[in-house]
Structure 1
Amino acid sequence: MKHSERVLFLDIDNCLYSPDLGISQMMKSRIYAYGREIGLDSDEVEETCSTYFKDYGLTVRGLVLHHNIDPQEFNDKVDGSLPLEDIIKPNPLLRNMIESANARIWAFTNAGLDHASRVLKCLGIEDLFEGITYCDYTEPNFPCKPEKRVYEKAMKEAGVSNPQLCYFADDSAKNVEAALQLDWTAVHVSKQTSSCEHGYIAGEDNIIRCCHIETVLNLPQALPELFS
């Protein structure tokens, strides 16, 4: 276990593995199939699910609120049905990079616990994380990124009270911006251009750096203070 006071929060999906694996597309097709199964109009299911995702952070939250679905059934038929073990393979380079970080390592995901644990196991890095802040679909009005309260939840669960000790990597620009608003140091992991690629964003008491990298393996270059 790392003894540093600093905590490196790592998103999981499309961050620790490449989005080119197509897992997001597989998940979307399963969500749409589930939507049709519960009675959503076939011609409107994609738009409805997309609207829920934009309005509530996760499609499942909208389905729970407006269609009274069983969240465990959703989890089993969507996340749980993904053939992750056939797609995601152990990544020694990722493991070596995480092991070299001078920070405590914590997973911070919008997925459920089962899915998050499966991905980390497939990558061969599950033992490197002290814990996982995840979405409990069965919890009424559960928080998810980019809501402020889930970042506060992550800090509490990881046992860190000073936001200046919090470092974060995520593939979502919205999630990165939310972290910056809380004075975390954040890195946007994406092959697409980031809004904070070239600059610095001022926090309340200091300057918080927002970096952009194309792959999580570039974290040592983005956050040299954690890998020196």
Structure 2
Amino acid sequence: MNVAIVTVGDELLAGQTTNTNATWLGERLDERGVSVERVTTVPDRIGDIARVVNEYRAEYDAVVVTGGLGPTHDDVTMEGVAAALGRDLEEHAEALAWLEESGYSRDDLTAGTADLPAGARALHNDEGVAPGAVVEDIYVLPGVPAEMKRMFESIESEFAGAPTYREEVVADEPESALLDRIAGVRERFDVSVGSYPGNSVRLAVQGTDEETVAAAAAWLRERVELAE
């Protein structure tokens, strides 16, 4: 299963808010064996949201969108998702009923709070007010981290892939000097190798077979100068 993550918010692009949602979702999806292949941040504009979501839903098994939910003027994510699918926004009876059962009368709610794309499945917000939604293969979650996490946990079973295994080898050599051994381990084993330079070079060996990953990491450790 491959997924794209789209985070919505002018404040993310301006650096006023750190995009912790994308990091958290990436970690949780990776733990479930799901490949996250895109992380994109877009402004609070309907056209930008619609364009990116429409592009990604054609390329990936699912698109996870966070941020921009609610009834205020800059909360336009639901409109953007609806536009991507060519659907209208409609008051969602189940979402409204759940909010009323949670103690919010219709008079308490700002107009539009329960408006979701036509045909959407509502995702209830146990940590806040604004509901999320699932429309086809698009999952729309809040931007407030506590709300996003709780809502994702309610639907995370819908994301599953082959489990992956990872081992790191830390080399005390320049990255350029390691190219021959990186090529060698990839030729001999069915693994991917990421190279992350710093004070030393972290070689991340990853694959879907635990024994193969362990053997590839051991092969590398025998052939590189290990950092202490």
Q: TM-score, normalised by structure 1?
A: 0.33
Computing the radius of gyration over CA atoms, which structure comes out larger, 1 or 2? 2
Higher strand share: 2
Greater relative contact order (Cα 8 A, min sep 6): structure 1 or 2?
A: 1
